[in-house]
Amino acid sequence: MLMNLDRVSSFYGKTQILRDISFDLKQGSCLCVLGRNGVGKTTLMRTIMGLADRTTGSIKMLGEEVGSIPTHARSRHGIGYIPQGRQIFGKFTVRENILLGSFARPDGKTEVPDLCLELFPYLADNLERRAGLLSGGQQQQLAIARALAVNPKMLLLDEPTEGIQPNIVAEIGNKLRMLNRDHGITLILSEQHIKVARSLGDDFLMMDNGRIVASGAIDQLTDELVEEHLTV
């Protein structure tokens, strides 16, 4: 297993958000984390990345406990993070944004990876353009490229298709599929687009009120589960 969570709970201040989360993540797989807004999907991503105020339980990466080490050390273990809202640096160039990710590489290389340029030709042609001038879809590509500069074994993607035009959603889905299937990068994907989840995912977790309420192979994601836990 690439990653294992065992009875992980997570807190912001005194408020408990996650409650006894346990799952195994196979190397090279894509896990889709589903649920309505406010059920704990983002907190799960932040907890794996070491950004919650306090956690209990165990988080292991390739059998090594990482739940007690800081965020930058988790990055060096091979975890790349694409946060909700992208959080790119608008006054920095495309190149500078990507290079920020490279500082977490364990081999110390500071460079724009060839993979980023191959996947995202627009970014390759606009490395000196200020990131704040990019469209929402282009900024999402940049956020993914920045995470790839870590040279990750795994990517955490929090709502990567949020607020993006449908044609760009399909394009980003295709790029993520390439990263997962062709390059062997494991994905944990927080998503509300069921079509995206079903096309990319191998397995799913359904969350509600900070707990996992259903899980299984993606073909077990029934319309009834979607209706119960995702329909507003």
The whole-number pLDDT of residue 103 equals: 86
C-alpha–C-alpha distance, residues 146 and 149, integer Å? 5
pLDDT band with cut points at 50, 70 and 90 for residue 189: very high
User: Does residue 34 lie in a domain region?
Assistant: yes
Question: What's the pLDDT score for residue 215?
Answer: 98
Confidence tier at 193 by pLDDT (50, 70, 90)? confident
Tell whether the model's pLDDT for residue 231 goes beyond 90. no
In a domain, 135, yes or no: no
Q: What is the mean pLDDT of the chain?
A: 94
Identify the CATH number of the domain in which residue 162 sits.
Answer: 3.40.50.300
Q: Where are the alpha helices (DSSP H) in 54-211?
A: 71-76, 94-102, 114-119, 121-125, 136-148, 166-177, 194-200
| Cα angle: 22, vertex 23, 28; to 5 degrees | 155
Instruction: Please give the C-alpha separations between residue 13 and each of 33, 36, 55, 57, 200, in angstroms, as whole numbers.
Output: 24, 23, 11, 17, 35
Backbone angles phi, psi at 146, to 5 degrees: -60, -40
Q: Does residue 145 lie in a domain region?
A: no
Rounded percentage of the chain residues whose pLDDT exceeds 90: 85
Tell me whether residue 18 is in a domain.
Answer: yes
Closest by Cα among 128, 126, 147, 154 to 138? 126
Is 232 a residue whose pLDDT tops 80? no
Count of structural domains, the chain: 1
| Locus of tokens 């490229």 | 145
- Does residue 28 lie within any of the structural domains? yes
The yes-or-no verdict on residue 163 having pLDDT over 90 is no
Residue with tokens 């912001």: 12
Q: What is the domain range of residue 51?
A: 3-87+153-229
Residues 33, 144: Cα–Cα separation, whole Å: 18
115 occurs within a structural domain: no
Is pTM, for the whole model, over 0.85? yes
Helix (H, G, I), strand (E, B), or coil: what is residue 52? coil
Least confident of 66-75, 128-137, 167-176: 167-176
Contact in structure between 78 and 154 (CB atoms under 8 Å): yes
Does any domain span residue 111?
Answer: no
Query: How would you class 226 by CB atoms within 10 Å of its CB: exposed for 0-12, middle for 13-18, buried for 19 or more?
Result: middle
The pLDDT of residue 28 is 97
Residue 39 included in any domain: yes
From first CA to last CA, the distance across the chain in angstroms is 35
Torsion sign, CA atoms 113, 115, 118, 119: negative
Task: Tell me the pLDDT tens digit for each residue of 54-108.
Answer: 999 999 999 999 999 999 999 999 999 999 888 999 999 999 999 999 988 888 7
Q: Which structure tokens are listed for 224?
A: 């009834």
